[in-house]
A and B are shown apart, each in its own frame.
Chain A
Amino acid sequence: MARVRESAIIAAPVEEVWHWLRDFNSHAAWHPAIASSEIEGGVPADTVGAVRAFTLTDGGFLREQLLALDDDARELSYCLIEAPLPLHGYVATIRLLPVTDGGQTFWEWSSEFSPPPDRAAELTALVANDIYRAGMRALERHLRRDDPARIRVQRAPMPAPTPMPVAVASGQSARAVVMTAHGGPEVLEIREITAPDPGPGEVRIAQSHIGVNFIDIYCRTGYFDLLTPPGVPGMEAAGVVDSIGAGVAHLSPGDRVAYACAPTGAYASSRTMAADLVVRIPDWLDSAHAAAGLLKGITAGFLLHDVHRLQRGENVVVHAAAGGVGTLLTQWAGALGAEVIATVSDEAKAQVASANGARAVAIGRGAEFLDTVQRLTDGRGADVVFDAIGRDSFANSIAALATRGHLVSFGQASGDIGAREIGPLSSKSLTLSRPNYGHYIADRAMMTMQADRLFAAIEAGRVTIPDPVLTPLEQVAQVHDDLEHGRTTGAIVLTA
């Protein structure tokens, strides 16, 4: 049995939305998939038992019967009698509820049916997206047309695909950030470069959005040996494929894609690179959020599933829980049923961590943090600590852990952790992990698995990529300075 449930907030009073929906024959007026409809036998459209016979814009013919209509509950149910698709036993329900403090309407549209097993995913998506989501948005537009003053706050529309540049034999000129030496933000310069035509196994991407990550700072300072200057830093971007080399089967020109991997070279408006680790972005995810969330989201994903196999009910500490990875770790760990104790550096970030679903938030990582962990775990300590702070937090991360606890040290924003004795770990039988992002996206199969897991988590609402701060590529030095000094919250994306 397949179940579909879609819901939306419609910017119109519930009476008005119900006025349209209770008319079982009105859908031809507002649903984009329906060309024409009539009630059989000429009975009134609110007669329970009435059958609507209708034709889709693609020519398909369907008949549906009204099973229940309830003006008090503002709910109706109907079933399919005849359809061109195998939606066996399809019964759908629409219900409306008022949002009393905003004057809008909550609309839920759900159904159950028995598709052939091999077509379940396809038919479920078709019903959810093409019939329900599209229909809900269309009726809202229809109502707004009646009243142009009514404007609904909604997410930014999906940007139109970037027009495909005409391929030129000698490569594509591009603006890029070139790192002239290891050092401070001043070593980053804007220059014109050429993105060569893709060779075998390569792809060239017209990049609209470039993700900025803390690893870019390590690359710039030379802490990680990722790039020998001069060269282009950056490991994450999203855009549109403009051409592919021989042997690339999983991408086509025009595909919206993103990547988050070595080697560096992302800080550019166009880039040619190995196609292996480049993934297609789902239609529902815009390029800015893909560039903001792919590296951080995959990081959160493998930390919670592969480095530590998080169990429901575990007590989890997330340091820097308002930061890029910290935000996603906090949300995802909470969605997996863990109790998250967050640490942040100030009150504003505490509110972000709280909104991410942290059960408790400590400001700072000192005595108050340790007290919070003790109190919330009945003195046992945390099962796992996710620590990208490094030097300044290492000792208290160890102190916060329960017996047999797990310290996952995946960064060092405050400085190198330095040499440590492993002997003291035995006082609580602790496990220490020191994962490297590259080893968890080592080939196309791993990258695809990680990206699919992230996209599924976003789609299911387990994680929400925060709206990134969009900054022009030219301001990269200031962005690095802010990120390095903890003056940012959430993700930063450069626009090319």
Chain B
Amino acid sequence: MTRVYVSSVIPAPAANVWRRVRDFNGLPDWTPFVAESRIEQNQPSDKVGCIRNFTLKDGGRIREQLLALSDYDMSCTYAILESPMGVENYVAKLTLTPVTDGNVTFAQWQADFDCAPDREAALVEQIGKGVFQAAFSALGASFGGR
């Protein structure tokens, strides 16, 4: 099992950041790499079990299923059902935590998955930097960060 962990400080109150990221169908609104997204079978995007079907700007298509959503903990857990990345048993969790000193947000994104050993380093780089960090950087910038 391989783990990727990325965290960042978003310069806005956690409730504001959570409003942006809790929409499981909202990736095109805040990540720089998702072109379009839909929820399969017309289900609400906060129905646990719903599947988002989205297209990356580079053309790749990914299907992910919402496994858990908590407005109390401000966290969202999902699994990849189908992707071009070559990962198995991929489960990721995005969590926001308030930073009371300064009223900003500590954001964490973690993924665990299996893959071919020779692909591990490249996937860690791609998921950690190309996906999670790129999304956090865009999210931070949208709230006025650097």
Interface residues of A (CB under 8 A from B): 5-9, 97-102, 104, 106, 108, 133, 136-137, 154-155, 331, 334-335, 351-352, 354-357, 359, 461-462, 464
> Contact check: which of A9, A136, A352, A462 meets B104 at CB < 8 Å?
A9
B99 touches A97 (CB 8 A): no
* Any A CB within 8 A of the CB of B32: no
B106 touches A106 (CB 8 A): yes
| Residue interface mask B1-44, A partner, CB < 8 A = 1 | 00001111100111110010000000000000000000000000
B102 touches A8 (CB 8 A): yes
Number of interface residues of B (CB under 8 A): 27
Interface residues of B (CB under 8 A from A): 5-9, 12-16, 19, 97-104, 106, 108, 133, 136-137, 142-144
Q: Separation in Å of the B87 CB from the closest CB of chain A?
A: 20
Q: Separation in Å of the A319 CB from the closest CB of chain B?
A: 20
Count of A-B residue pairs with CB < 8 Å: 86
A99 touches B9 (CB 8 A): yes
Q: Separation in Å of the A313 CB from the closest CB of chain B?
A: 12
Instruction: Take A461-B14, A462-B15 as given contacts and tell me if A100 and B8 are in contact as well, using a CB distance cutoff of 8 Å.
Output: yes
With A9-B9, A461-B98 given, name 5 new contacts (CB 8 A): A8-B102, A9-B101, A331-B13, A355-B16, A359-B19
> Contact check: which of A6, A9, A133, A351 meets B144 at CB < 8 Å?
A351
B101 touches A334 (CB 8 A): no
Neighbouring B residues of A356 by C-beta, 8 Å: 16
B6 touches A355 (CB 8 A): no
Neighbouring B residues of A359 by C-beta, 8 Å: 19
Cα A97 to Cα B6 with chains together (Å): 11
Q: Separation in Å of the B12 CB from the closest CB of chain A?
A: 6
> Contact check: which of B5, B16, B106 meets A9 at CB < 8 Å?
B106
Q: Separation in Å of the B108 CB from the closest CB of chain A?
A: 7
Q: Separation in Å of the B126 CB from the closest CB of chain A?
A: 16
A106 touches B101 (CB 8 A): no
Instruction: Take A104-B9, A461-B14, A462-B15 as given contacts and tell me if A99 and B106 are in contact as well, using a CB distance cutoff of 8 Å.
Output: yes
Cα A97 to Cα B103 with chains together (Å): 17
Nearest CB to that of A104 among chain B residues? Answer: B9
B5 touches A100 (CB 8 A): yes
A99 touches B103 (CB 8 A): no
Instruction: Take A355-B142, A355-B143, A355-B144 as given contacts and tell me if A97 and B100 are in contact as well, using a CB distance cutoff of 8 Å.
Output: no
Neighbouring A residues of B9 by C-beta, 8 Å: 9, 99, 102, 104, 106
Nearest CB to that of B140 among chain A residues? Answer: A101
> Contact check: which of A6, A98, A137 meets B7 at CB < 8 Å?
A98
Neighbouring B residues of A9 by C-beta, 8 Å: 9, 99, 101-102, 104, 106
Cα A356 to Cα B142 with chains together (Å): 10
Cα A359 to Cα B101 with chains together (Å): 26
Cα A154 to Cα B6 with chains together (Å): 23
Q: Separation in Å of the A103 CB from the closest CB of chain B?
A: 11
> Contact check: which of A7, A137, A155, A354 meets B97 at CB < 8 Å?
A7
Neighbouring A residues of B144 by C-beta, 8 Å: 351-352, 355
Instruction: Take A97-B7, A331-B16 as given contacts and tell me if A6 and B142 are in contact as well, using a CB distance cutoff of 8 Å.
Output: no
A155 touches B102 (CB 8 A): yes
B7 touches A461 (CB 8 A): no
B133 touches A357 (CB 8 A): no
Neighbouring A residues of B106 by C-beta, 8 Å: 7, 9, 97, 99, 106
Cα A7 to Cα B136 with chains together (Å): 20
Cα A155 to Cα B99 with chains together (Å): 14
> Contact check: which of A101, A155, A334, A351 meets B133 at CB < 8 Å?
A101
Cα A464 to Cα B15 with chains together (Å): 12
B101 touches A99 (CB 8 A): no
Listed from nearest, the 7 A-B pairs whose CB atoms lie closest are A8-B101, A357-B16, A461-B13, A461-B103, A106-B106, A101-B8, A355-B144
Neighbouring B residues of A98 by C-beta, 8 Å: 7
Neighbouring B residues of A106 by C-beta, 8 Å: 7, 9, 97, 99, 106
Cα A356 to Cα B17 with chains together (Å): 10
Neighbouring B residues of A461 by C-beta, 8 Å: 13-15, 98, 100, 103
Nearest CB to that of B20 among chain A residues? Answer: A357
Neighbouring B residues of A357 by C-beta, 8 Å: 12, 15-16, 19
Neighbouring A residues of B97 by C-beta, 8 Å: 7, 106, 108
A6 touches B101 (CB 8 A): yes
What are 28 contact pairs spanning A and B, CB under 8 A?
A7-B106, A9-B9, A97-B7, A99-B8, A100-B8, A101-B6, A101-B8, A101-B136, A102-B8, A106-B9, A106-B97, A106-B106, A108-B97, A133-B100, A133-B101, A137-B101, A154-B102, A331-B16, A334-B15, A335-B13, A335-B16, A351-B142, A354-B142, A355-B142, A356-B16, A359-B19, A461-B103, A464-B103
